[in-house]
Structure 1
């Protein structure tokens, strides 16, 4: 897997209203070359150490140039284990005829009374086919819901991420006279 860049901003401007939210689920931005795969980080930041037990997140994206492959647990699982489930389903094409996909992500602690940890929850792996066009694909949160440790609904917001399909750099031909 080639991972060119991970850009997660600690200072972000929420796309959704974060006032009163218990925390924020953040999708990272990663660039990768055609014919490789990239791992998008899924990160959680709690506000005032709010105890959240489960989160459901739907993420929509244009899937002409990238395909969702799988989700794997991140390092936050070492602090408190949790269940992670992610599945992709096709959506109707958009008005320009581009194929779309929705990833349904569920993160939850199985034990009653336990809370999800802050930090890197998951890596979402995307495959970039060799014929993919250079493009920035937005990973847009369509909906997000959460429950606190007492199973009551809690407000959580989500931040969009991106998969950037880049073109491999062409090797530069050196000049013989300047190289010797």
Structure 2
């Protein structure tokens, strides 16, 4: 098990299951740039036991009750993998929040600032009924910009974000503070 990765709530899984799940996450120093430690959790998806444990833990750690939302929105791209699997297990609809230019028109867009530049997220227009409540899921929260953009995108079409669920949270970047005090859970926490 990577020593700097742990579950935020150890009781979500039995100790050996938690250790097994964390052991599947690779840390790649210097990728994609010098000074960054990339956290690769794709091996979890290749491992049937690990994948099942991840979904069990995410469900146990949801920041809101399952009655508090009708849809799960996955952020591009790993949020798609998590979101569709959770939506299936929880009998919820799934919405893909895509990078600009990936969906056919008409779309609804929300731009946001990055450290250097800006980006835009989109959903298909008319896909989500006004008044719907959404749980947003992604693999990682760092500075919180992408999750914030998803929240504003759903608010712009008359929906509300019930909460946010992340597999990993990078410490010290305070991304959760960008999310307007919405209920948020992060399954694992690790140094940036």
Could you state the TM-score of these two structures normalised by the residue count of structure 2?
A: 0.28
Could you state the TM-score of these two structures normalised by the residue count of structure 1?
A: 0.29
Q: In terms of Rg, which structure is larger?
A: 1
- Which structure's residues are more often helix, by fraction? 2
More contact order relative to length (CA 8 Å, sep ≥ 6): 1
- Which structure's residues are more often strand, by fraction? 1
